[in-house]
Structure 1
């Protein structure tokens, strides 16, 4: 949008300017006015003055009832133009950002923004993903509700179908989620790649290495579930993309149609990747409830996994299990 377009979209006042008022008074006195009389053109445009067809160069005032209608209509037209101008600003800013990035790679002046609510986060992530040009990286450690997965599928699928590289990391426990399995099957058919991790990792969305969304942590280390940081800082985006790559390299490919258990487990090992993640949580001092929250599992499911490990190893207590873990080579497995 040009400066001229923006200026013409700005609403005019409904009151006459000093120049217009002086011209209006001259017309009321019946004076002959030249075509270039200051203020005459806008008065005619808004039909505040009407040309006197019987005496060229003179003008008569519009009736007061008609005058109110005309002034109101002029302001409404201007407001409509201003609304369109405001709506077009974000797209125009992105055009200018693209021009900046075409000639140099300095960080965007937008920096990092705090998105405080779910609607804010959703609106910005949807806009950014829809504009993705070559890559979308996502890491989703929590349980994604069926409604969220189904709502995101058309957008994600469209990106993959237009040739954007889509890579997603889920929890290993997500392999038992029917809706998540359906999402993976549909997306992989479109060319997306999905892997799973049984351990803690950060929630991330990185688009074109130029946009990144990540979790908001409080001073006590708790995550603000409804909020997210959004950054266009190139350095931060590059760092988060490198972190994603590290997690991606450690994760197991999710091939649609395979079993729901942890893949790649050697027959000689006593534990699965999920169980090893649970053991690491126990050693770190977390409760079964906390471990379950991190993995998207119930506390009862975590307890059941611990019991199965004890039974498989012939152990009676959790301290015995943790001692076995501390001395077992399996603690070195992912």
Structure 2
């Protein structure tokens, strides 16, 4: 509330010791409400002026406290009616209960937009799992502001990645920034399911139903609102999280994630040995070597065994020259 011009003039009148006119009661009440003047303790009908800077500072601080309290109440509003929202989501327009409420969202842009909406209404916790290795740098760049905003709103965040991301520069930078801001990140060298869990009440899952629409298959997700299904996904996520290893963004060479057997295969490949020769040298079946090679390609990021063998041989030659 701003101070009226009449109140300003009356304040100056009191400041210079001029008696207050009998018809100035309304304006005087404005000054009293502001706290710019107080009744004289010894002289009836007289008033003492106070320092406007001190009064304004006190009013500002009081206003900021009220604003902070209002923001806190506003933030808690979605949680306050969460039980009613759940009931609404699970009842059809005709009044019949809907079991297994699910949204179907297709297309990367639509998916990102819907997830952003869900994250914006999340109040306590976000849990995610990314099983397919490093995400593209541009995807991480788009996700970072949204993720940081959630952390700054006091939302706890736990993220699970495949171990191979530890050798990816953009993902390492993302993890380093996020863990500094309070997020927790783990990696797991075992298969797990991609998902996002929001406040333990909603889950975003991949849609693996056969694609029957026109044109190429778009990226598709299911947004599950049924709490029973969400709890099922949550239990699987917690199991995988418990198996993971804490990561704070340290970037490691991809080769450090290989097993001893895989390193031995890598050394033989670097010499130009074929798959059959590697199997004989290590006392393994060709099928076992083939399975190990598939895993090595995934970890090291190669499209084919030929490409991987060539690159490993090139590295070995360079190391000999240096």
Q: Output the TM-score relative to the length of structure 2.
A: 0.52
User: Which residue in the other structure is 1:243 paired with?
Assistant: 236
Deviation digits for residues 171-225 of structure 1 (CA, Å, limit 9, x no counterpart)? 11111111101100100001000111122211101100111111111359xxx66
Using a 3 Å threshold, how does the CA distance of structure 1 residues 263 and 130 change in structure 2: closer, same or farther?
Answer: farther
Deviation digits for residues 106-126 of structure 1 (CA, Å, limit 9, x no counterpart)? 973471011121122111101
Q: Distance in 1 between matches of 2:210 and 2:295?
A: 18
Say yes or no: does 1:135 pair with 2:117: no
SS in 2 for 1:168: strand
What aligned pairs does 1:123-202 form with structure 2 within 5 A after superposition? 123-142=113-132, 143-202=134-193
User: Which residue in the other structure is 1:120 paired with?
Assistant: 110
2:78 touches 2:121 (CA, 8 Å); kept in 1? no
User: Which residue in the other structure is 1:11 paired with?
Assistant: none
1:135 touches 1:207 (CA, 8 Å); kept in 2? yes
Deviation digits for residues 33-58 of structure 1 (CA, Å, limit 9, x no counterpart)? xxxxxxxxxxxxxxxxxxxxxxxxxx
User: Which residue in the other structure is 1:101 paired with?
Assistant: 83
Structure 2 alignment gaps of length 5 or more? 1-76, 92-97, 212-216, 266-283, 313-322
Q: Distance in 1 between matches of 2:289 and 2:153?
A: 44
SS in 2 for 1:186: helix
What aligned pairs does 1:1-334 form with structure 2 within 5 A after superposition? 99=81, 101=83, 108-109=90-91, 111-142=101-132, 143-218=134-209, 226-257=219-250, 259-260=252-253, 270=260, 292=297, 297-300=301-304, 304=308
SS in 2 for 1:182: helix
Matched pairs, number: 200
Q: Distance in 1 between matches of 2:192 and 2:306?
A: 18
Using a 3 Å threshold, how does the CA distance of structure 1 residues 243 and 302 change in structure 2: closer, same or farther?
Answer: farther
Using a 3 Å threshold, how does the CA distance of structure 1 residues 128 and 240 change in structure 2: closer, same or farther?
Answer: same
Deviation digits for residues 212-262 of structure 1 (CA, Å, limit 9, x no counterpart)? 111111359xxx661111111111111111111111111111123364469
Q: Distance in 2 between matches of 1:123 and 1:284?
A: 43
User: Which residue in the other structure is 2:66 paired with?
Assistant: none
**284-293 or 161-170: bigger deviation:** 284-293
Deviation digits for residues 47-90 of structure 1 (CA, Å, limit 9, x no counterpart)? xxxxxxxxxxxxxxxxxxxxxxxxxxxxxxxxxxxxxxxxxxxx
2:104 touches 2:221 (CA, 8 Å); kept in 1? yes
SS in 2 for 1:299: coil
Using a 3 Å threshold, how does the CA distance of structure 1 residues 158 and 100 change in structure 2: closer, same or farther?
Answer: closer
CA RMSD between the two structures: 4.0
Q: Distance in 1 between matches of 2:192 and 2:109?
A: 24
1:117 touches 1:227 (CA, 8 Å); kept in 2? yes
Q: Distance in 2 between matches of 1:171 and 1:121?
A: 22
Using a 3 Å threshold, how does the CA distance of structure 1 residues 97 and 200 change in structure 2: closer, same or farther?
Answer: same
Structure 1 alignment gaps of length 5 or more? 1-94, 309-334
